[in-house]
A and B are shown apart, each in its own frame.
Chain A
Amino acid sequence: MQVAIASGKGGTGKTTLSVNLSYYLAREFTRDGQKVLLADLDVEEPNSGIFLNGDVTHKEIKYRLVPKWDESLCTLCKRCANICQYNALAFIGISVVIFPELCHSCYLCSDFCPENALPMVRHRMGELIKYKINDSFDFVESRLDIGVEQATPLIKESKKFIEKSKNQYKTIILDSPPGTSCPVIEAVKDVDLVILVTEPTPFGLYDLKLAVDTMRELNKKFAVVINKYGIGNNDIDNYCKDNDIQIIGKIPHMQTAASLYSGGKILIDKIPEIQKEISTIANNLQNIIIKS
């Protein structure tokens, strides 16, 4: 099964849940060589790796395709600059200037150029590294290069990489980017279940509603985990109840959790209350997946 951990609001605990749940599933829900894969798809700021130590088993540079201007073939017809929806090409004097950071790799200019003066070429966007954490736990981290503006193409490429080896894994957990825009949609679009992590604050509730609307629009099966449970009020509980949304776990708010987190530590090894809740989430996950 593939599960994406997402949220509307940032900082609710996607990485905390992703790392601790993956670690728990790898330890408790695998046998006879079964494995769990955690992939950090929050490519703009991947941080799951801070909590995990392992050996690099694979590394690759990721590219996307952008047009390159061939001056010798160009007849300066301006068609490319006129049709680009993202203004990624500019026509200045007698030259075409390309801005790869604005290009969405749609091929429109390249395909429409009557002289074939805009061939698509590889443009580096980031890298993907795979680690072995232990015999039942692998980890993939994708990281955008500094200055690269678009996360979605790297998320897409990372998912292709995961897809190739998906049969090796009993469970795949995807630590997704925050928000409800293209990178999140790319991350969650073909998973079996999305866990929306939220926190009991007005911001948490507001962004949870946006995330729920997004999941419903995408027709995705989803459930909610409330992190930092105990602060704030019961608005999230009530919202989920009123909207028939299943809450599959409530991770208690604890100062010790925050200190361990800031030291890059796995919480379930040190805090029994959190291990208990992660175990509840893991069991609920199995039940949801079995039922569907």
Chain B
Amino acid sequence: MKIVFTATEKGWDAKISKRFGRAEGFSEYDTENKELTWYSNQENKDSEHGVGIQAAQLVVSLNPDVVITGGNFGPKAQQLLSLPNIKLIDEAGEITVREAFQKFKKV
């Protein structure tokens, strides 16, 4: 299973980003090979238009099963992420990527 977290920087101790489109980047955890991989969103996050759309394309291309963010996804990103049937978890709050993963495991 692949889980993508919106994050303020790379690593397990980084805070979950409250924003999806304008997140600093995305941490992808693959439960099979137990690797956490960082994808920067630097190129998109300061665009004037359609950041949610750009970020959603990036995230969908990673082919995740779950995406977790601290706040809301935003309507356009949510629409796109829903197309490939990704499970979306929002309002995770101001916690670290590690804490978010532990919470997710319990659900």
Which residues of A does B touch, CB under 8 Å? 81, 86-88, 90-93, 95, 97, 99, 102
- For the complex, what is the distance from the CA of A90 to the CA of B54, rounded to whole Å? 7
- For the complex, what is the distance from the CA of A99 to the CA of B60, rounded to whole Å? 17
Contact A99 B56 (CB under 8 A): no
In addition to A92-B80, A93-B60, A99-B76, 11 A-B residue pairs with Cβ atoms within 8 Å of each other are A87-B51, A87-B53, A87-B54, A88-B49, A90-B56, A90-B80, A91-B57, A92-B57, A93-B84, A99-B53, A102-B53
Asked if B83 is at the interface (CB within 8 A of a chain A CB), the reply is yes
Residue of B nearest to A104 (CB): B49
Contact B84 A87 (CB under 8 A): no
- For the complex, what is the distance from the CA of A268 to the CA of B50, rounded to whole Å? 47
Residue of A nearest to B81 (CB): A92
- For the complex, what is the distance from the CA of A86 to the CA of B51, rounded to whole Å? 9
CB distance from B90 to the nearest CB of A (A): 19
Interface residues of B in 14-72 (CB under 8 A from A): 47, 49-51, 53-54, 56-57, 60
- For the complex, what is the distance from the CA of A102 to the CA of B57, rounded to whole Å? 16
Contact B83 A92 (CB under 8 A): yes
B interface bracket (residues with beta carbon within 8 Å of A): 10 to 19
Which residues of B does A touch, CB under 8 Å? 47, 49-51, 53-54, 56-57, 60, 76, 79-80, 83-84
- For the complex, what is the distance from the CA of A91 to the CA of B54, rounded to whole Å? 9
Contacts of B60 in A (CB 8 A): 92-93
CB distance from A135 to the nearest CB of B (A): 47
Contacts of B49 in A (CB 8 A): 86-88, 102
Contacts of A86 in B (CB 8 A): 49-50
CB distance from A27 to the nearest CB of B (A): 46
- For the complex, what is the distance from the CA of A81 to the CA of B57, rounded to whole Å? 10
Contacts of B54 in A (CB 8 A): 87
Contact A92 B56 (CB under 8 A): yes
Residue of B nearest to A78 (CB): B57
Contact A95 B57 (CB under 8 A): no
Contacts of A87 in B (CB 8 A): 47, 49-51, 53-54
Contact B83 A95 (CB under 8 A): yes
- For the complex, what is the distance from the CA of A95 to the CA of B57, rounded to whole Å? 11
10 closest A-B pairs by beta carbon, nearest first, are A87-B50, A87-B53, A90-B53, A86-B49, A92-B83, A93-B84, A92-B60, A92-B80, A87-B49, A90-B57
Contacts of B57 in A (CB 8 A): 81, 90-92
CB distance from A273 to the nearest CB of B (A): 46
Residue of A nearest to B48 (CB): A86
Contact B50 A99 (CB under 8 A): yes
Residue of A nearest to B49 (CB): A86
- For the complex, what is the distance from the CA of A93 to the CA of B64, rounded to whole Å? 12
Contacts of B84 in A (CB 8 A): 92-93
Residue of A nearest to B82 (CB): A92
Given A90-B56, A92-B56: A97 touches B50 (CB 8 Å cut-off): no
- For the complex, what is the distance from the CA of A242 to the CA of B51, rounded to whole Å? 44
CB distance from A10 to the nearest CB of B (A): 22
Contacts of A81 in B (CB 8 A): 57
- For the complex, what is the distance from the CA of A114 to the CA of B84, rounded to whole Å? 26
Task: Specify which of A81, A87, A91, A102 lies most central, judged by the most chain B CB atoms within 10 Å of its CB.
Answer: A87
- For the complex, what is the distance from the CA of A90 to the CA of B79, rounded to whole Å? 11
- For the complex, what is the distance from the CA of A116 to the CA of B53, rounded to whole Å? 23
Given A91-B57, A92-B57, A93-B60: A102 touches B80 (CB 8 Å cut-off): no
